[in-house]
């Protein structure tokens, strides 16, 4: 049974810092891995999707990597801003559904 874990559970940093959020999964047989952002009480915003054949994806200040063999993905956020404060979720796609991690709650203070 696929299990997805995210470390750390919470993170508080000053503005401007570069951050690394970690995601690990137990079964490497995935179709893709997706990173989402969720603001309090809101739905999910897709940030990056990495196909199983890819190693990384970049969008603006965000970079996500995928190492299927070790069951790990990292989300790198460069030059963090207060507007980046949210919960970040990773999710792996098996044949027909997403399996979500536990999330990392990020707070970036000015």
Where on the chain is the footprint of another protein (CB under 8 A)? 31-32, 34, 36, 41-46, 49, 51-52, 89, 91, 93, 95-103
Closest to another protein by CB, 41 vs 110, is 41
Alpha-carbon span 39 to 87, nearest angstrom: 6
CB of 93 to another protein, least distance (A): 5
- Would you say 13 or 105 has its CB closer to another protein? 105
Q: How far is the CB of 5 from another protein (least distance, A)?
A: 11
Q: Is the CB of 54 or the CB of 63 nearer to another protein? A: 54
Residue 38 Cβ vs another protein, minimum distance, rounded to whole Å: 9
Burial of 32 (0-12, 13-18, 19+ CB in 10 A): middle
In 3D space, the residue among 49, 109, 58 whose CA is nearest the CA of residue 85 turns out to be 109
The answer for 9, left when phi > 0, alpha when psi is -120 to 50, beta otherwise, is alpha
Q: What's the closest the beta carbon of residue 105 comes to another protein, in angstroms?
A: 12
**Residue 30 vs 108, nearer CB to another protein:** 30
Taking a C-beta distance cutoff of 8 angstroms, is the pair 15, 82 a contact? Answer: yes
């Amino acid at each position: 049974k696929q299990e997805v874990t995210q470390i750390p559970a919470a993170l508080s940093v000053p503005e401007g810092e570069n951050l690394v959020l970690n995601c690990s999964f137990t079964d490497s047989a995935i179709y893709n891995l997706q990173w989402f952002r969720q603001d309090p009480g809101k739905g999910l915003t897709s940030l990056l999707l990495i196909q199983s054949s890819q190693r990384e994806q970049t969008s603006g200040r965000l970079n996500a990597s995928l190492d299927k063999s070790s069951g790990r993905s990292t989300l790198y956020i460069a030059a963090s801003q207060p507007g980046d404060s949210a919960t970040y979720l990773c999710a792996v796609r098996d044949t027909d559904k997403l399996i979500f991690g536990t999330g990392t709650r990020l707070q970036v203070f000015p």
